[in-house]
């Protein structure tokens, strides 16, 4: 699948609208705690600045409810952009109001304008055509570099593309890279290929598991979702997280894995606790001997060793979802150990965004991975085999 490429656009000295994903985490003082998403957009912004474009940047941040809220203002993002680009960034007071429209109109070649949080406009998440049209009217070209939100049909992601013809829209460098990486991973991974899948529930990853099954050699399950599989196998998982309505699906996945010759691994031991809390009493038990009314909150040391063995010979690793409740230190060990094995492996290592990217960064292993996606939800939808609404309008016809 080839996307319209920013490199092929005739951008010199033109006005360009770039949809970025500056939805960065902030601490309680409003400081950006991780600017990876901003840094990931710099290549595309530089490309446009090098061609002397007038650059309009737009993003959402958090989940404001369709109106201005100070805590969701993009002002801190503007300051970080200013540091990273070493250029002034003009900040609009609104999205498509008088101030933004005037500033966009007056914007000169080589200047950068950042619009306010797109979700201050209620129409953004509703893919409102009037909002799309107003945003589109600001520029001659549209670039999507917001992978993290490309699974959403929103005004600035999907609707806006209808106001530009094929010579005036394209994917930015980040979007290209994400789509290429996941495309290769799904279509022609170097084998053996292992998928490590964790996180809270089977329901969130069911479709991805089904789509991955015919493509992988091994699946290693961790996190809360493991207990639905374990229960289906007849184990008494006590108070662990279980989705009873998905027991049959879990059974079918294991059956299908067997049929396809995919090695399907489940935790052989867990860290069980008397409650879901920092001050819980916990101990290591086999998956078959979780104490009455206790719950499994992390994979145990035997599982960690088993998974290391299983990962030894693979050439490609995809990791999506933590192995335990990694937000609580005493249940983070399994995820941290797996993160180290993945980081040390000679395989191509791809980390889905969201929690998995977060936990890898917490222990400073992000530089050791081949690729960390900037989009948790978007990458999951690619793994499910879906076409993203923000990417579809940028796909070139094959002929």
Catalytic annotation, residues: 37, 201, 354, 377
Scanning residues 303 to 332, which ones bind ligand AMP (CB under 6 A)?
321-322, 324-325, 327
Query: Is 355 a residue that touches ligand AMP (CB under 6 A)?
Result: yes
Q: Is 200 in the site for ligand AMP (CB under 6 A)?
A: yes
Dist CA 310 CA 179 (whole Å): 28
Choose, by CB under 6 A, the member of 41, 297, 317, 369 that binds ligand AMP. 297
Please enumerate in sequence order all residues whose Cβ is within 8 A of that of 138, keeping only pairs 6 or more positions apart, or say none.
15, 17, 56, 100, 101, 104, 105
In terms of Cα–Cα distance, which of 376, 38, 369, 5 is closest to 175? Answer: 5
Looking at the chain, which runs of residues are DSSP E strands? 15-19, 54-58, 90-91, 112-114, 141-144, 169-171, 193-197, 218-221, 263-265, 269-273, 282-286, 295-299, 316-320, 348-351, 371-372
Residues 6+ away with beta carbon under 8 Å from 279 = none
Least Å distance between CB 55 and ligand AMP?
Answer: 34
Q: CB of 267: closest distance to ligand AMP in angstroms?
A: 9
Q: At closest approach, how far in Å is the CB of 169 from ligand AMP?
A: 32
Of the two residues 158 and 298, which places its CB atom closer to ligand AMP in the complex? Answer: 298
Check residue 334 for interaction with ligand AMP (CB under 6 A).
no
Q: Which is nearer to ligand AMP, 297 or 311 (CB)?
A: 297
The stretch among 30-38, 92-100, 155-163, 193-201 that binds ligand AMP (CB under 6 A) is: 193-201
Report the residue number, 286 or 315, with the smaller CB distance to ligand AMP.
286
Q: Among 75-83, 158-166, 199-207, 338-346, which window interacts with ligand AMP (CB under 6 A)?
A: 199-207
Is the Cβ of residue 5 or residue 211 nearer to ligand AMP in the bound state?
A: 211
Could you give the CA distance from residue 47 to residue 178 in angstroms, rounded to a whole number? 18
Distances (CA, A) of 355 to 177, 212, 311, 349, 367: 20, 20, 21, 16, 17
How far apart CA 28 and CA 25 sit, in angstroms, is 10
Q: Which of residues 230-289 bind ligand AMP (CB under 6 A)?
A: 241
| Contact window for ligand AMP (CB under 6 A) among 7-15, 122-130, 195-203, 336-344 | 195-203
CA distances from 292 to 273, 282, 285, 303, 375 (A): 10, 13, 12, 21, 38
Q: Give the separation between CA 247 and CA 231, rounded to whole angstroms.
A: 8
Dihedral angle computed from the Cα positions of residues 26, 32, 35 and 37, in that order, rounded to the nearest 10 degrees: 40
C-beta closer to ligand AMP: residue 111 or 243? 243
DSSP letter, residue 3: B
The stretch among 100-108, 171-179, 187-195, 197-205 that binds ligand AMP (CB under 6 A) is 197-205
3-state helix/strand/coil string of 289-300: CCCCCCEEEEEC
Q: Does 224 bind ligand AMP (CB under 6 A)?
A: yes
Give min distance, CB of 376 to ligand AMP, in A.
7
Task: Look at phi and psi of residue 385 and say left if phi exceeds 0, alpha if psi is from -120 to 50, else beta.
Answer: left
Q: Which of 123, 148, 192, 223 binds ligand AMP (CB under 6 A)?
A: 223
For residues 192 and 199, which CB has a smaller minimum distance to ligand AMP in the complex? Answer: 199
Contact call for residues 170 and 3 (beta carbons, < 8 A): yes
Nearest to ligand AMP of 322, 375 (CB atom): 322
Q: Report the residue from 123, 148, 296, 389 that binds ligand AMP according to the rule CB under 6 A.
A: 296
How many helices and strands, by DSSP H and E, does the chain display?
12, 15
Residue 229 CB, nearest approach to ligand AMP (Å): 12
- Among residues 97, 110, 129, 204, which is the contact residue for ligand AMP, using CB under 6 A? 204
Distance CA 242, CA 105 (A): 55
Query: CB of residue 292 vs ligand AMP: minimum separation in angstroms?
Result: 17
Burial letters 54-80, b for 16+ CB under 10 A, else e: bbbbbbbbeebeeeeeeebbbebbbeb
Q: Which residue is nearest to ligand AMP (CB)?
A: 199
Residue from 126, 201, 308, 386 in contact with ligand AMP (CB under 6 A): 201
By rule CB under 6 A, what count of residues binds ligand AMP? Answer: 15
CB of 197 to ligand AMP, least distance (A): 9
Residues making contact with ligand AMP (CB under 6 A)? 199-201, 204, 223-224, 241, 296-297, 321-322, 324-325, 327, 355
């Amino acid at each position: 699948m080839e996307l319209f490429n920013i490199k092929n656009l005739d951008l010199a000295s033109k006005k360009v609208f770039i949809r970025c994903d500056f939805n960065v985490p902030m601490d309680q003082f409003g400081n950006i705690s991780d600017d990876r998403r901003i840094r990931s957009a710099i290549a595309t912004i530089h490309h446009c600045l090098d061609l002397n474009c007038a650059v309009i940047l737009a993003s959402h941040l958090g989940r404001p409810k369709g109106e201005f809220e100070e805590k969701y203002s993009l002002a801190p993002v503007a300051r970080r952009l200013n540091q990273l680009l070493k250029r002034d960034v003009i900040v609009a007071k609104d999205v498509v109001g008088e101030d933004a429209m005037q500033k966009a109109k007056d914007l000169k070649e080589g200047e950068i304008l950042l619009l306010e949080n797109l979700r201050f406009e209620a129409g953004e998440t509703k893919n409102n055509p009037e909002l799309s049209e107003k945003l589109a009217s600001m520029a001659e070209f549209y670039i999507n570099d917001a992978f993290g939100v490309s699974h959403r049909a929103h005004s600035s992601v999907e609707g806006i593309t209808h106001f530009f013809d094929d010579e005036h829209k394209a994917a930015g460098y980040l979007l290209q890279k994400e789509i290429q990486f996941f495309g290769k991973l799904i279509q022609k991974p170097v084998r053996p290929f292992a998928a490590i899948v964790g996180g809270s529930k089977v329901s969130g990853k069911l479709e991805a598991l089904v789509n991955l099954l015919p493509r992988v050699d091994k699946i290693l399950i961790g996190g809360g979702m493991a207990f639905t599989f374990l229960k289906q196998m007849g184990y008494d998982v006590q108070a662990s997280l279980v989705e009873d309505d998905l027991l049959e699906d879990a059974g079918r996945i294991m059956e299908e894995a067997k049929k396809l010759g995919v090695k399907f691994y489940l935790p052989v031991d867990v860290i069980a606790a008397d409650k879901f809390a920092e001050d819980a009493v916990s101990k290591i038990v086999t998956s078959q001997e979780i104490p009455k009314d206790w719950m499994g909150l992390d994979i145990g040391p035997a599982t960690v060793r088993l998974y290391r063995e299983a990962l030894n010979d693979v050439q490609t690793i995809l990791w999506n979802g933590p192995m335990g409740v990694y937000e609580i230190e005493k249940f983070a060990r399994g995820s941290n150990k797996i993160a180290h094995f993945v980081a040390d492996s000679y395989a191509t290592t791809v980390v889905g965004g969201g929690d998995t990217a977060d936990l890898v960064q917490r222990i400073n292993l992000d530089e050791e991975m081949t690729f960390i996606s900037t989009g948790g939800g978007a990458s999951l939808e690619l793994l499910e085999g879906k076409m993203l609404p923000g990417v579809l309008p940028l796909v070139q016809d094959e002929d």
